[in-house]
Amino acid sequence: MTTSAPPARPRFVIVDIARGVAIIAMIAYHLCWDLSYFRFIAADVGYDPQWVAIARTILSAFLFLVGVGLVLGHGRAIRWRAFWKRWLFVAAGAAIITIATFFAFPQSFVYFGVLHAIALFSLMALPFLRAPLWLVALVAAIIIGAHFAYADPLFNAKTWSVLGFWTVPPPANDLVPIFPWFGVVLLGVIVTRLVLASPLADRLAAIQPENRLATTLAGAGRWSLLIYLLHQPLLLAVLYPLAALTHPEIAMRSADFLKSCQQTCTTGGTSAPLCVTYCQCGLEGVEKDDLWNAIYTGQVTAAEQAQLDANNRQCSTLIYPELNLPQ
């Protein structure tokens, strides 16, 4: 006689809605990243601190919900067939992303991104679904805390970077290391187990979408993995040909020039208003004499260097008139 695993708990629609919000936030972030990459917008989405904070917030939500979903689906007993079916889908998606980004971005391809992490973390989290809560909390604290307490250049290499203790992250368009991010999954496990053991569980289970927005978010949440796989190819299918036709990098180069010039100028001790005047003058000279190739490539002919020096002297006299002395 064989026994089957207990059925999964009734679906918590509120969790689907939360997943829907997270996947829409992820799409919005990736849209901005793509716009920045193709130079439709000036923001450096990959490195500006505010954008990095937004990305980490969205990732935290995703991984927290992984822990939530594992407890809801397998907390009473692991439903192996359902688990492996979903796991294979995630793993296959991770493999597709690695292959696609290897050809599109060979220097920064995704070798351990969000889906890779979800696949590994889902396996790693299984023993914690019914382990003592104090033990789960202890492991989560160690994994999160170790990331902030230890670093070594050894982990800068791709081979070891999946652990997360680097001093300088290796080039990758998406990298989600074990430390600290597996700890976030365990936080989802802890919170969900605590909620299910409290009266709050019944109230949350009773929540149902009451308007079109909530219904749409819940639907997006149920199909979040498929949406995650498809959204970037669809965005790139629109933005890549649009960038090839419009060349937004040409429009952005002036803004890049002014930003770089003003940073260098103010670092040298000149006041910001004077730097604005100086750099605007420099930009006008570069455009008038068509010196963009010299600036971007660093390959400057003698004639171009002479013109750059003349422009520099002219712009310097705008902010320091005393330099315009008779020869």
| Domain C-terminal end among 223, 246, 269 | 246
Any domain includes 128: yes
Closest CA to 12 of 137, 195, 185: 195
Mean pLDDT of 187-209: 94
Any domain includes 6: no
Count of domains forming the chain: 2
H/E stretch holding 311: helix 302-319
Residues 219 and 171 grouped into a single domain = yes
- How far apart CA 70 and CA 205 sit, in angstroms, is 16
What's the pLDDT score for residue 311?
A: 85
Mean pLDDT of 260-276: 87
Residues 226 and 313 grouped into a single domain = no
Mean pLDDT of 199-222: 93
Q: Tell me the two tokens of residue 213.
A: 């927005």
Mean pLDDT of 11-37: 95
Residue 313 has pLDDT above 90, yes or no: no
Closest CA to 180 of 132, 224, 147: 147
What would the DSSP string read from start to end of 272-301? HHHHHHHHHHHHHHHHHHT-HHHHHH----
Any domain includes 36: yes
- How far apart CA 140 and CA 133 sit, in angstroms, is 10
Residues 115 and 71 grouped into a single domain = yes
Domain that holds residue 270: 248-323
Average pLDDT for the chain: 90
Mean pLDDT of 77-86: 95
Mean pLDDT of 177-204: 96
Residues 164 and 70 grouped into a single domain = yes
pLDDT > 90 fraction of the chain, expressed in percent and rounded: 66
What's the pLDDT score for residue 175?
A: 96
Torsional class of 247: left (φ above 0), alpha (ψ -120 to 50), beta (otherwise): left
- How far apart CA 308 and CA 295 sit, in angstroms, is 10
Residues 191 and 273 grouped into a single domain = no
| Domain C-terminal end among 206, 222, 246 | 246
Residue 100 has pLDDT above 50, yes or no: yes
pLDDT confidence tier of residue 8, bands split at 50, 70 and 90: low
Any domain includes 1: no
Any domain includes 138: yes
CA distances 26 to 3, 32, 117, 208, Å, are: 41, 10, 16, 24
Closest CA to 320 of 282, 288, 275: 275
What's the pLDDT score for residue 247?
A: 82
Residue 4 has pLDDT above 60, yes or no: no
Three-state SS at 176 = coil
Mean pLDDT of 185-202: 96
Three-state SS at 112 = strand
DSSP state of 320: -
Residues 211 and 318 grouped into a single domain = no
Residues 263 and 156 grouped into a single domain = no
What's the pLDDT score for residue 120?
A: 98
CA 124 to chain centroid, in Å, comes to 23
pLDDT confidence tier of residue 3, bands split at 50, 70 and 90: very low
Residue 325 has pLDDT above 60, yes or no: no
Residues 114 and 257 grouped into a single domain = no
Any domain includes 4: no
| Domain C-terminal end among 213, 246, 279 | 246
Encode 264-284: b = buried (16+ Cβ within 10 Å), e = exposed: ebeeeebeeeebbebbbbbbe
Any domain includes 191: yes
* All residues at 6 or more sequence positions from 96 whose CB lies less than 8 Å from its CB, including other chains: 229
Residues 168 and 187 grouped into a single domain = yes
Residues 75 and 203 grouped into a single domain = yes
What would the DSSP string read from start to end of 136-152? HHHHHHHHHHHHHH---
Residues 227 and 253 grouped into a single domain = no
What's the pLDDT score for residue 213?
A: 95
Q: pLDDT tens digits for 139-174?
A: 999 999 999 999 999 999 999 999 999 999 999 999
Any domain includes 202: yes
Closest CA to 180 of 148, 156, 154, 151: 148
Backbone angles phi, psi at 104, to 5 degrees: -80, -40
pLDDT confidence tier of residue 307, bands split at 50, 70 and 90: confident
- How far apart CA 15 and CA 25 sit, in angstroms, is 15
Q: Model's pTM, two decimal places?
A: 0.84
pLDDT confidence tier of residue 303, bands split at 50, 70 and 90: confident
Residues 270 and 142 grouped into a single domain = no
